[in-house]
Amino acid sequence: MSSIKASKLSSATFDFEQYVLDCKTQIEHSLDLWMKPHEPEILWESMRYSVLSGGKRLRAILCMAAAEACSKDRETARKAVMPCAAAIEIVHAMSLIHDDLPCMDNDDLRRGKPTNHKVFGEALALLAGDALLMLALEILLDRSDASVTPKNVMAVASELTRAAGALGMVGGQVLDLSYTGQGIERTNAFKALDNIAIDEAILGTIHKKKTGAMIRFSAWSGAKLASANEKQLSTISEFGDILGLAFQIADDLLDVTGDVTTLGKTPGKDEASQKATWVRVFGVEKSQSRLEALEKKGLELISAADFNADAVPALAAILNYAIHRKN
Ligand code: GRG
C-alpha cells in the first residue's frame, strides 16, 4: 500500500472512541423516541428490553459511516440514515431474540442480561420478535428524512426484506441449524445433512447469509440513502462483504477465547453444539490468518475508493474493531 493511500486510512484528528460514542448517542435516542410504549404494555416492555439493552451497534454505526463516506456533509448524511440505522438495530435485536429461543440456540444470557424468553416467556419473546420486524419496516418507511427520495427509501426497504428474509438471514439461520451437530431439537429435514462434511464453501454460504447479508445491507443502505453513485455502491457492498465475513470469523474465535463477563453471552456454545464454525473447520491459527488477510483487503479497498476522505478513517476503524474486538 502506498503511503498516500495509507494516510487516507487514519487521521490525526480522528478519535474512534468519540466517534462511536457520538453515533451511539444518536442511535439510542432515535430508538427510544421511535419505540415509545403503547398497549399492550407487556409486549412493548419485551420489545424495548431487547432493543434498548446495549449492544455494540456496529451495524448502525457502519450504516452511518457508509453514508458519510458517500456524502459531502456529515449532518445531512446522519439525518438521511437514522431511520434505517434504527431499523437495522431493531431487525438485529429481533434476530437475537429468536436465535436465543430454546428451539434454536437455547441461550440464557445475551448482552450480559437474561435472554428475552427467560424474562418474558417464550410466547412473548416470539411475538416481540414478530412485532419488531414489522416496526423496523414501519420506521424505515414512515420516519424517512425529507432529503431522501421516496425511490431510494423504497429501494432500501426492498433490499432489507431480502437481506433479512429467506435469501439472507433467515435462510442462513436454517442452513446453520441444518449443519449444527447436536444440542437442539431438530426436524428430519435438518437431520438429513448429518453426514455431510463442512468445507469452506458451505461455511461461506451459511455466514454470507446469516451474518453477512445484514452487515452488507448496513453498508449498502447507508451509501444508497446518501445518494451514492453505482461505483461507490459496489465498493461499499464489497467492503460490507469483507466486514461481514471478518466479523463472523472473529465471533467464532471469541467463542473459544472469550469469557462470559466480557462476552455478555455464554462462551463455548459453538463447540458444545458442534456448530459449523471457522474454528472447527480451520482451527484458531488459520482463522486468525484469514482475518489478517481480510483486514488487508478491506483497507486496500477503501483507501483506493472514491469516498469522502474525511470519512474513510471511520470505515477503517470499524473493520479493525470488528476483527480485534473482545466482545
Ligand atoms: C429476520 C424473521 C427473521 C428471523 C431471524 C433467528 C434468525 C432468524 C437469525 C439468526 C441470526 C443471528 C442471530 C446471527 C448471529 C449474528 C451475530 C454474530 C450476532 C452477534 O452480533 P453482535 O456481536 O451483537 O453485533 P451485539 O449484542 O453487539 O448487537
Domains annotated on the chain, with CATH: 11-324 (1.10.600.10)
Cell for 205? 454460504
Cell for 231? 461505483
Q: Grade residue 121 by pLDDT with cuts at 50, 70 and 90.
A: very high
Give the percent of the chain with pLDDT over 90.
79
Residue 319 to residue 243: CA distance in whole angstroms: 6
| pLDDT for residue 4 | 40
CB 164 near ligand 1, within 6 Å: yes
List the residue whose alpha carbon is closest to atom 7 of ligand 1. 95
Contacts by 16-22, CB closer than 8 A, 24 or more apart: 16/313, 16/314, 16/317, 16/321, 19/314, 19/317, 20/57, 20/61
54 CA: nearest ligand 1 atom: 27
pTM above the 0.85 mark? Answer: yes
Residue 108 DSSP SS3: coil
Q: Grade residue 61 by pLDDT with cuts at 50, 70 and 90.
A: very high
Chain centroid to CA 318: 12
111 CA: nearest ligand 1 atom: 27
**Residue of 210, 255, 266 best suited for mutating to test ligand 1, as the one with most atoms within 8 Å of CB:** 210
CB 56 near ligand 1, within 6 Å: yes
What number is the average pLDDT over the span 242-266?
92
CB 169 near ligand 1, within 6 Å: yes
Half-sphere exposure of 248 (CA within 13 A, CB side): 25
CA of 141 to the centre of ligand 1 (A): 23
